[in-house]
Structure 1
Amino acid sequence: MSPQPDVSVVIPTCNRPELAVRAVRSALGQTHRNLEVIVVIDGPDEATERALAEIGDPRLKVIPLPERGKAPNARNTGARAALGRWTAMLDDDDEWLPEKVARQLELAEAAEVEWPIVACRMISRTPRADNVMPRRLPEPGEPISEYLVVRRGLFYGDGFVQTSCIMAPTELWRKVPFTVGLRRQQELDWTLRALCEPGTALIYAEEPLVLWHQDENRERISLENPWQEQLEWLRNSRHLFTPRAYAAFTLSVLSSMAAPTRDAKLFRELLNEAREHGRPGAVDYLTHMQIWALPPSVRHHLRDLVVGRGNKDKDTERQGTPHAE
């Protein structure tokens, strides 16, 4: 490895040594080897420090923080310490496929903008099924807020961005840090704010390069439902969304967080929020109603059946289907 790594990898972690080691090994195992891996341990955590010390790779750097500040703060700390021209984020419960960094570097170097934000597809792995997300890539001229949140069907994942999929210039991460204190939608918030900077563009690798583990038997930020906090964030971030995207986010993401309350008043409040400040479409209304009508376990099962079937059909098409004789 040269003294100056091409890419810095930032992994925030806390009290999950086995997961952290798995994530680190997937980063160190990249085919593009001129990189550094910065693990930011979010607060006192001797078990993780010991586990990482056993890896024995000089490209690994560990930054233990004296107290917990949560993942956005840890990512910002890692970006400030990065030596690479590019920085890629990796959550401690995810893994990278071996070609991830090499492929994104190709796209970054070929980009015609000063600050390309390079994302990729990923394999979303649940206890029930594997699905490839996002299911489609942005269309020319499509507003990114609409691409990321407007559904074309009843299930999320048409457009998508996730932290472990993003690589961007290190200077951009420092100029546009993660919002400390925001528990959900951290990557959506960062992406929309970063794209407000001149000279930026969102570019996707077509192939899935990340394995997103959605284990449902352990604590995960994405399983929290802070709907009041998210509604406040959405209202403060209205300038980042088109009216169509604002309504879609309200009736899908916010709705899914608020639905466990079974509060009919809140059901109507979200409808009014979407109508007053956004422009809902038919799919948004249907999404809102099915989220409140069906238990999460039923929705998850239906989504895996429908989306998983679609992914299998696409795989068959790519491989070539033999004609019946």
Structure 2
Amino acid sequence: MSSTPEVSVVIPTFDRPELVTRAVRSALAQTVTDIEVIVVVDGPDGATRAALAAIGDPRVRPVELPVKGGAPNARNQGVQAARAPWTALLDDDDEWLPEKLAVQLARARTATSPMPVVASRLINKTPRAQFVMPRRLPADGEPICEYLTVRRGLFHGDGFIQTSTILAPTELLRRVPFTVGLRRQQELDWTLRALAHDDVELVYAAEPLVLWHQDEDRPRISLNSPWEAQLEWLRGMRPLLTPRAYAAIVTSIISSMAAPTRSVRVFRMLLADARRHGRPSAVDYLTFLQIWLIPPQVRHTLRDRILGRRRPATAPTASAGPVPPVASGVDAAAPTPAVDRPTDVHA
């Protein structure tokens, strides 16, 4: 490995040695070989330390933090340690396909801004099916905040960005760090704050380059985040959102977190907030009502039927080469894919 690698890979983890080993090996299997893999261990963790040492590759650089600080802090610490001009983020429960970095670096060279954020499609693997996300790429002139949040269908969204798909200049990730303490919407929060800078643009690689595993038997802490905290975060993000985007988040994401309260007061408050600060569409109103009135499992079944999902006979692996055809769709377990990623299970 050269003294200055081409790409630094940052993987936050804690107490999941088998998963992080899988993620690290998918990074080491990239066709771009001049990389360093910075594994930020979020607190004392002997099992993970031993698992990383057993990999036996000098490109792996463990960074063990003295105390737990959550995934956003761990990512920030990894970026500070990065030596390459580009940094790629990888969650410890995801995998990359071998061409991921090569495709994204080529896409970055075609960008028109000096600080391109390069995302990609991914293959979402759930217990029921696997399918490609996002369903479509941003249209010319479409506000990114609306692409990532506004629904075109009652039971699904189209836009999406996820941490493990992001490649960005290391300088930009240092200029715009992840928000420490934010337990959900981390990708949306970071992307919108980064795009607020005039020299930044978001571009996509059309190929699915990441395997997003959602069938692991592990806790989903972020799914239990209090809705009040997320509404406070959203109100702070209003300057970076259009009224359409604001309303879409309130009527889908915030409502999906608040609906289990079955509170008429909360129902009315969120509807009033979406109307006061946003511009809800007919789809937003219908989404809001179905989230509050239809049990989640019934919604998931309806969504699967509408999108025509079926379980594939075989599943791709990070070493499987070309990606086989999969159904196009969005996460059946998430109310809106753009901002409901179950992240930070170790936060």
Q: Assess same fold via TM > 0.5.
A: yes
RMSD over aligned CA atoms reads: 1.9
Does the CA contact (< 8 Å) of 1:79 and 1:87 recur in 2? Answer: yes
TM-score of the superposed pair, with normalisation by structure 2:
0.88
1:282 aligns with 2:302: no
Does the CA contact (< 8 Å) of 2:6 and 2:34 recur in 1? Answer: yes
Q: Distance in 2 between matches of 1:249 and 1:18?
A: 35
Code of the residue aligned with 1:307 in structure 2: it is L
Count matched residues.
316
Structural mapping, 1:191-206, within 5 Å = 191-206=191-206
Q: Distance in 2 between matches of 1:316 and 1:24?
A: 25
Code of the residue aligned with 1:184 in structure 2: it is R
For 2:45, the equivalent position in structure 1 comes to: 45
Does the CA contact (< 8 Å) of 2:131 and 2:326 recur in 1? Answer: no
Q: Distance in 2 between matches of 1:26 and 1:78?
A: 18
Does the CA contact (< 8 Å) of 2:150 and 2:157 recur in 1? Answer: no
Q: Secondary structure at the match of 2:87?
A: strand
1:171-198 Cα distance to aligned partner (Å, 9 max, x none): 0000000000101001100000000112
Q: Secondary structure at the match of 1:254?
A: helix
Code of the residue aligned with 2:115 in structure 1: it is W
For 1:190, the equivalent position in structure 2 comes to: 190
Percent same amino acid at aligned positions?
66
1:34 aligns with 2:34: yes
1:258-306 Cα distance to aligned partner (Å, 9 max, x none): 1111112111111101000000001101111111122222222332333
311 and 229 in structure 1: CA distance in 2 versus 1, 3 angstrom threshold: same
316 and 31 in structure 1: CA distance in 2 versus 1, 3 angstrom threshold: closer
Does the CA contact (< 8 Å) of 2:129 and 2:309 recur in 1? Answer: no
25 and 230 in structure 1: CA distance in 2 versus 1, 3 angstrom threshold: same
1:100-123 Cα distance to aligned partner (Å, 9 max, x none): 110000011221110000000011
Q: Distance in 1 between matches of 2:130 and 2:72?
A: 27
179 and 14 in structure 1: CA distance in 2 versus 1, 3 angstrom threshold: same
310 and 286 in structure 1: CA distance in 2 versus 1, 3 angstrom threshold: farther
Does the CA contact (< 8 Å) of 2:132 and 2:326 recur in 1? Answer: no
For 1:322, the equivalent position in structure 2 comes to: none
**Gapped regions of structure 2 (runs ≥ 5):** 313-324, 329-347
Q: Distance in 2 between matches of 1:294 and 1:114?
A: 46
Q: Secondary structure at the match of 2:55?
A: coil
1:147-169 Cα distance to aligned partner (Å, 9 max, x none): 00001012344001111111100
For 1:152, the equivalent position in structure 2 comes to: 152
Q: Secondary structure at the match of 2:267?
A: helix
Does the CA contact (< 8 Å) of 1:123 and 1:130 recur in 2? Answer: yes
47 and 165 in structure 1: CA distance in 2 versus 1, 3 angstrom threshold: same
Code of the residue aligned with 1:211 in structure 2: it is L
Does the CA contact (< 8 Å) of 1:132 and 1:311 recur in 2? Answer: no
Higher relative contact order (CA 8 A, sep 6+): 2
Code of the residue aligned with 1:124 in structure 2: it is N
1:246 aligns with 2:246: yes
Code of the residue aligned with 1:197 in structure 2: it is H
Tell me by how many angstroms 1:12 deviates.
0.2
316 and 230 in structure 1: CA distance in 2 versus 1, 3 angstrom threshold: closer
1:121 aligns with 2:121: yes
Does the CA contact (< 8 Å) of 1:89 and 1:163 recur in 2? Answer: yes
Q: Secondary structure at the match of 1:149?
A: coil
1:180 aligns with 2:180: yes
For 1:109, the equivalent position in structure 2 comes to: 109
TM-score of the superposed pair, with normalisation by structure 1:
0.93
Does the CA contact (< 8 Å) of 1:133 and 1:157 recur in 2? Answer: no
**Gapped regions of structure 1 (runs ≥ 5):** 319-325
For 1:214, the equivalent position in structure 2 comes to: 214
